[in-house]
Structure 1
Amino acid sequence: MLAVPTAPAWPSSMAVKQDDRARVLAQANVSRETAAALDIYVEQLRRWQNVKNLVGPATLAEVWTRHIADALQLLDLAPTATTWLDLGSGAGIPGLILAIAGRERPGFQVDLIESNARKCAFLTEAARLTKAPARVRNLRIEDAVADHVGIDVVCARALAPLHQLLDWTEPLLTTGTTALFPKGRDAQAELTAAAQRWRFVYDLVTSRTESEARIVRVTALSRVDS
């Protein structure tokens, strides 16, 4: 069993910006209990960062705007969804953050798929402490997707090119699941590459946290040769 690490002292350059926290929480309009749970998540991210490089060290000081706000915006893109699947969960972005915030919706549940055991240990501990409705599964993506046909939403952040994400999630996107895939400035190039193999219905949503980033929302999928 992996021991829970103690929190290292952060350099001043990594100190969490409290103004960012206040701004993100106000925009998200979450309850006091959810805000407290997000604080616990941030503290756990701090504790575990020295055990496993969960996020880029340079982004820790901006965790609220670079990670939490980036994840929370997905909730508004699927306002009635209650069952979510997060692929390659890593540090729980966006999946665990969505579970923390989405628990105010009746029946909300997020399955977190992660093949790295140490990262799963972090996710399990953070989910326990925040009381998030999240189930951590230490599995490869290829072994997990088939068990989630019928899920409302599948998401993945900074995991793989779009054509690979569509390949992994084909059993879901051909049976009614919506995909939310945050992408950077190369979103259009990834769409063009994916269109060589796939026909898909999608729209591009401008990210609230980065003007050049886009969220690809896919609502239907089929193979070009089908």
Structure 2
Amino acid sequence: MASPAPSAGFFPESGFVSRETWDRLRLYADLVRKWQPSINLISPKTLPELWDRHVLDSLQLFRLRPDPLTWIDMGSGAGFPGLVTAICLQDLGGGWVHLVESNNKKASFLRQVIVKTGARASVHALRMETMPGALTGIDAISARALASLSDLLDYAAPFAAENPALEMWFHKGLDYPGEVRSARDHWCFDLIEHQSLARDGSAILQLSKLSKRN
């Protein structure tokens, strides 16, 4: 079953990505459907909602930060949101996404999507703990459905120490206020909450100026 056309109601403004990018995103979604029976890329119960639940939810990140940055996408899994960002970066002709995924089968899937779509990305079969030193010159970090906010900040901290202007963008569900309170026990950071267009009560958290609380 081919992916549907983009939902005009999901993003009120039109034209923030090209028609060619929409076509590449639909190809990506079709590849997820093709590989899903052999690799558990996403939760099977969300497969019928693949376009809205995963692709368009991830696309919100590029809508918020449509700039040619160098990203790390931590724990990429099926590539949400990092591979969506990488596909969108083709419109800009700049920027790059380092997709970090330690599962070799999922890493192979990500590489196949890059070949098919021309996404501005590379895949690194690394564990999060080994990213510092292996990846440098990072402007921003993203993650979705990976770990608690406190754990994500632990992974991001070495990159924030290297680049004080580092941005962190994390998709979070309904319980995100509690995660923010818990993270502030150990970390200082500036925070902007972007309410999700895809799921009521969810948010994309934009963090910066990360430092360890004394």
TM-score, with normalisation over the residues of structure 1?
Answer: 0.86
Is the alpha carbon distance of 1:17 and 1:92 closer, same or farther for their aligned partners in structure 2, counting shifts above 3 Å? Answer: closer
26 and 132 in structure 1: CA distance in 2 versus 1, 3 angstrom threshold? farther
Q: Does 1:57 align with 2:44?
A: yes
Aligned residue among 177, 200, 207 for 1:218: 207
Residue 146 of structure 2, aligned match among 148, 159, 162: 159
Residues 145, 209 of structure 1: CA spacing in aligned structure 2 closer, same or farther, 3 A cutoff? farther
Corresponding residue number in structure 2 for 1:181? 170
C-alpha distance 43-53 of structure 1, shift in aligned 2 (>3 A)? same
Judged with a 3 Å threshold, the aligned counterparts in structure 2 of structure 1 residues 77 and 25 are, in CA distance, closer, same or farther, namely closer
- Equivalent-residue separation in structure 2 for 1:180 and 1:168 (angstroms): 13
Are 2:123 and 1:136 equivalent residues in the alignment? yes
Answering whether residue 7 of structure 2 is matched by residue 18 of structure 1, we say no
Q: Which runs of 5+ in 1 are unaligned?
A: 1-14
Looking at structure 2, the residues matched to 161 and 43 of structure 1 have their Cα atoms a distance apart, in angstroms, of 30
> Number of matched residues?
210
Contact 1:163 1:190 in 2 (8 A): yes
For residues 82-138 of structure 1, the C-alpha deviation after alignment (integer angstroms, 9 at most, x for no partner) is 211100000000011111112111312111000000000100001110111110111
In 2: Cα distance, 1:106 partner to 1:36 partner: 17
**8 Å contact 2:69–2:94 — kept in the other structure?**
yes
Following the alignment from structure 2 to structure 1, what is the Cα–Cα distance between the partners of residues 77 and 43? 12
CA deviations 1:190-225 (Å, max 9, x no partner) are 011111111111111101101200111111111111
AA paired with 2:76?
S
* Deviation by residue 1:32-80 (Cα, 9 ceiling, x = unmatched): 2212211211111011101111011122222111111111111132233
Q: What is the aligned-residue RMSD (CA, Å)? A: 1.9
Write the distance in 2 (CA, Å) between the matches of 1:28 and 1:89. 27
Is contact 2:81–2:144 with CA below 8 Å preserved after alignment?
Answer: yes
Query: 1:107 aligns to what?
Result: 94
Which of 193, 197, 201 is 1:204 aligned to? 193
Residue in 1 that maps onto 2:109: 122
**Residue of structure 2 in register with 1:97 after alignment:** 84
Shift of 1:149: 4.1
Q: Distance in 2 between matches of 1:27 and 1:92?
A: 25
Task: Name the amino acid aligned to 2:159.
Answer: L
Q: Is the 8 A contact 1:81 1:152 kept in 2?
A: no
CA distance in 1, matches of 2:7, 2:118: 22
Structure number with larger C-alpha Rg: 1
Aligned-residue offset at 1:147 = 3.5
How far residue 151 of structure 1 moved from its aligned partner, in angstroms, is 1.3
Displacement after TM superposition at 1:28 (Å): 6.0
Unmatched runs of 5 consecutive residues or more in structure 2: none
With the length of structure 2 as denominator, give the TM-score of the two structures.
Answer: 0.91
Do structure 1's residue 71 and structure 2's residue 58 form an aligned pair?
yes
One-letter identity of the residue aligned with 2:160: L
